[in-house]
Structure 1
Amino acid sequence: MNAPDVVLIVDDVPDNLSVLHDALDEAGYTVLVATHGEQALQRAAQAQPDIILLDALMPGMDGFEVARRLKADAQTAAIPVVFMTGLTETEHLVAALAAGGVDYVTKPLKPAEVLARMQVHLGTARRARSQAQQALQARSALDAFGYASMTVRVADGRILWQTALARRLLLAYGDSPGDAGSATVGETLRHWMARQLDGVLQGLTEPPRWVLAAPQPVAGSDRRLVLHLHPPMEEGQGGELLVVMREESGSAAAQLLREAFALTAKEAEVLFWVAQGKINRDIADIVGSSPATVKKHLERIHAKLGVETRTAAAALALGRLRQGG
């Protein structure tokens, strides 16, 4: 059996508190009360209620300021706030919503109307929490399998959320120091993300890739950081992207291809660089051979993979690397 939802009522008028308290208690809610703004902030932080019914006009700190402070605090920002107000002028209702309210009810209060409005917003909040929990589980699973992830606001490159592994990798590759909320991705990466945004949100079959080389590579090491862009896990975030990254080694990947397709060491190395989009001349420079020799290796690779084109060979290689990476 689920625990009852917790409602915090904030009002400086005892009669209003009494009417709402009795109606909500009878409906099965756990009810907390506060009679002024400071007390409301304390109760909200301590109890983490599921919803807050907030009087707009109170002595001292009014409801608008209480709502602004609740929304500015990460601990209470997600709690839905329904304003209770006798003010019906448009400017006051707009002020209530601008301060962070999700809805308002007018005085004199009608308990049945308040309950109906509450149920709508409690349902919305439950769905949001469920989606957030699913997203957290998905991100944790990525970390557990050696992938790192972060959510980036494309407009300014701000990192809104990142796993510990993502932060370590970005620091190691010199792209983004700092903590989530204050750090930004590098300017080049941000511009690339902006160019890819429309395609990603339209659901490209293959997420765009970005490769970062270590700024000071260790001698003999070919490790690199590969980033993939995806739409965000939560809905309604059109200007944000989920970045999934993993550190890879070219030699390890080549060994995987060698074993998967029964290639020689040199053929596997050539196939790996073909899969990275390199042309024969570039591959020749990388592996220390001539373009003609690379072409011969590629002909043998095509025969062993049963394909006729470079594109098909690259697709098979990338598919195998994703399965075993």
Structure 2
Amino acid sequence: MERTINVILSGGVGSRLWPLSRKSKPKQYLPIFNNKSLFALTIERNQKVCQHVMLVGSVQNIDLAKDDLAPVSHDIIVEAVPRNTAAAIAFAAFAANPDDILIVTPSDHLIEGEEQYLQAVKRGIEFAKEGYLVTFGINPTRPETGYGYIESEGNDVLSFREKPNVETAKDFLKSGNFLWNSGIFCFKASTYLHELERFDPKVYNAAKTAFDAAEDGVLDVELSRKIPSKSVDYAIMERSDSIKVVPSFFQWSDMGSFDSLYDYLVAKGHPRDEHGNMVIGETKHTVFLGVRNCVVVNTDDALLIMDKAFAQDVKHIYEQLEKENSGLV
């Protein structure tokens, strides 16, 4: 009998939320969303339509996830080295039954509006049962440059677009037929594997070899390194002719940077001064003088002081610290 499985991908660090997010505790495990983590909220949200959870992630992330997974039916696939989303989803599809419906979700997205979310997912499941690869497009509310876009007509996908500049994002918003690419997918396990083998046999074959050699759900390091690192968008979604998009109206953010976190905290009543300045993290008496729209992120061992407009650039700080083998990552 077919199952509906929530495939949760948890391999990232969240470098743009440094110094809150670290390798030892990535952003999806920080209990800062009404004292819950994004990972816990992902499980909770999808239990309404899924009978099982399948987590695909790094060794460190698996250890952090175990407490939240304990109450639910689940399997774990441990990635030896990160090989991007096309392979990660393939591992889950190999582990599932061919007719199982996979609802693939990142572990680090914030979603509010449960009724609208479940309505969209149920529509996606209908398309998946018909043999389509389904993606979920979010109705855009602003000319966002940090997200990819989907050009659509009804449920038909016309094109996928990379992260645009500000002027292009404004044009997308005016046109009315562009959606934010949420990174959430739905399809039969067999449909995904068929399309992956069709469009990227190198990823398919290398992932299958690594999966077949896995021991107790743990993938082999050397075999994993032979898998081409490609996103599911590049490997399949931008090439397949069996795609449907579900326009969705739930509130969504990938919580990928401090401007996203800032907006969330403002909506929840987190304090900021009359000039839009905010402190996130450890509590110290902080005074802003002569500056506007600044964010101070304060942890035990690091302090980030940032103009909110530069939120996307925090990853460069993280990358430099990583090159230096700093203990701060």
Pick the TM interval, shorter chain.
under 0.3
* Larger RCO, structure (CA 8 Å, separation 6 or more): 2
Higher helix share: 1
Higher strand share: 2
Structure-2-length-normalised TM-score: 0.22
